Amino acid sequence: MAKKIQSIKGFYDVAPERQKLWRYFEATVLSVLDQYHYQEIGLPIVESTDLFISGVGTQTDIVEKEMYSWIDPLNSDNLTLRPEGTAGCVRAVIEGSLTYNGPTKLFYRGPMFRHENVQKGRQRQFHQIGVEAFGLSDPSSDAEQILLLSRLWKALGLTNITLELNSIGDPADREAYRKVLITYFEDNKAELDEDAQRRLYDNPLRILDSKNPSMQDMLNSAPKLRESISAEARTHFDSLCQTLDNHGVPYILSDRLVRGLDYYNRTVYEWVTKDLGSQGTVAGGGRYDYLVEKLGGVTTPACGFAIGIERIILLLESKALDGLMNPDIYIVNLGDEARSKALMIAESLRDHHYNIAVNMEGASFKSQMKKADKSHANIAFIIGEDEVEKKCIQIKLLREEGSQVSVKDKDVLTHLTSMIN
């Protein structure tokens, strides 16, 4: 027997039953994105390594230790499987001059890749839907994206998700704060773990993100960046909060929220849940007004977010979502002539947008009826030798005891329409 080859650690298949939840989620989020007039852009999964070094930041976990990078032996290019989507989207906007005629609102979807420790809600190939708006500096554009996410959670029936919100100001604010924070951490150096000490002088803001229990009291007492941002950044954030208040979107002000990527400024936020353990962030984003210019474009304000699809699917799995992608009708058929008739009827009904499952196994009547019930269809069509000869079918409501009628072939669509209406 040949050796069985298994999937790579952190790279998973999506089984058909789980794929139903993916399709349900994608149909829902695409509908909401259409409501907000976002247009889809397709992006490659392989980019120049320099794009992420320049865009994401050399002092981030992603660039330091998580990227899948290699040198292409054919042309010596330094390449990376994308670990996140914003940098690639910015590259596409610059390369395609997509803001030439004014602001543009885009979204993309697909796999991302990070060499991380695998656990529930964290894997090495994961999927995101990313949403980006370019050319819009007003805080109302930040608010609109948060409102979009709030609407999405409601459409999906997800309730236990909380918005955490902060402003990290502009680069000058952070540089001044950086010095204050370094002084504070130096005074408390004995309490810093190894990772925090490594970051102390390169990226002290990231220390605020630490989940180390022994550091929490010290971190909670650290100086607050939001208290020292400029008047302009403060006005921007206050306007955002007021808009969210006007729309009844609750939020928690989180002074330690800084996000893990270097390109953010001003608004940062995360939507978190307690239902997934330590990997509770299901969406996150904010403003990045300087990234387009940093990657070679003209100065362009921008904001965006990403949704972790696998984590949303985990939340949807805990809900009772019946009827996802189930057939409307399951056709039981006995014999070759009945099978031929079943296929004819199925194609005719598909022309009218019904979802039809036809049993193709030639199994017994009892076995086929079990499969009809297991398919979660509400209606079964039964076709045997008598039905072929009499040009009729038996229609059975699978969820109602004793409900079965004989209908002439020519009347099937009319009868079906009357049943559903």
Q: From CA 50, how far away is CA 66, in angstroms rounded?
A: 15
Strand, helix or coil at 306? Answer: strand
Q: From CA 152, how far away is CA 307, in angstroms rounded?
A: 11
Per the CB < 8 A criterion, the answer to whether 197 and 290 are in contact is no
Binding residues are: 84-86, 114, 128, 132, 259, 263-264
Q: CA distances (Å), 353 to each of 203, 327, 348, in order? A: 56, 11, 9
Nearest to 12 by CA among 310, 317, 325, 315: 310
Q: What number of other Cβ atoms are within 10 A of residue 83's Cβ? A: 25
Nearest to 392 by CA among 369, 372, 412, 375: 412
The pairing of strands 329-333 and 46-48 is: unpaired
Q: What number of other Cβ atoms are within 10 A of residue 70's Cβ? A: 13
User: What does residue 241 show for φ and ψ, rounded to 5 degrees?
Assistant: -60, -40
Residues 6+ apart with CB under 8 A from 24: 316, 321, 324, 325
Nearest to 61 by CA among 108, 105, 117, 141: 117
Q: Taking each helix axis from N to C terminus, what angle separates 16-35 and 139-156, rounded to the nearest 10 degrees?
A: 140
Dihedral angle, C-alpha 110, 70, 55, 175, nearest 10 °:
130
Q: From CA 269, how far away is CA 252, in angstroms rounded?
A: 10
Distance of CA 151 to the CA centre of its chain: 14
Binding residues for L-histidine are: 84-86, 114, 128, 132, 259, 263-264
Residue 191 CB burial class (10 angstroms; 0-12, 13-18, ≥19): middle
Helix (H) or strand (E) holding 164: strand 162-167
